[in-house]
Structure 1
Amino acid sequence: MWIGWTEIEVLLGDVRSLKAKRSVVRPVIAQLRRTGHLAVAETDHHDLHRRAAIGVSTVGPERARVTEVLAAAEALVLEHPELEVLSSRTRIVTAEDVE
Structure 2
Amino acid sequence: MPLMVIGVGRATLRIAGARSLKDKRRVLKSLLTRLHNRFNVAAAEVGLHDRHREAEIGIACVSTAGSHADSILAAILEFLQIQGDIELIDYHTELF
Q: Under a length normalisation based on structure 2, what TM-score does the superposition of the two structures give?
A: 0.90
1:46 aligned partner: 49
Query: Percent of aligned positions with the same letter in both sequences?
Result: 29
Structure 1 position 63, deviation (Å): 0.7
Instruction: Name which of 66, 70, 74 aligns with 1:67.
Output: 70
Matched AA of 2:27: V
Take 1:36 and 1:92, find their aligned partners in 2: how far apart are those partners?
A: 17
Deviations 1:19-42 (A, max 9, x none): 011111111100001135211101
In structure 1, the residue matched to 2:8 is 5
Q: For residue 75 of structure 1, report the CA deviation from its aligned partner.
A: 1.7
Q: Following TM superposition, by how much is the alpha carbon of 1:73 offset from its aligned partner in structure 2, in angstroms?
A: 1.6
User: 4+ runs of 1 displaced by more than 4 Å?
Assistant: none
2:29 pairs with 1:17: no
1:87 is matched with 90
SS at 1:72's partner residue? helix
Counterpart check, 1:37 vs 2:40: yes
Instruction: Note the aligned Cα RMSD (angstroms).
Output: 1.1
Q: How many pairs were matched up?
A: 93
TM-score, with structure 1 as normaliser? 0.87
Deviation at 1:6, TM superposition (A): 0.3
Secondary structure at the counterpart of residue 38 of structure 2:
coil
Gaps in structure 1 of 5+ consecutive residues: 94-99
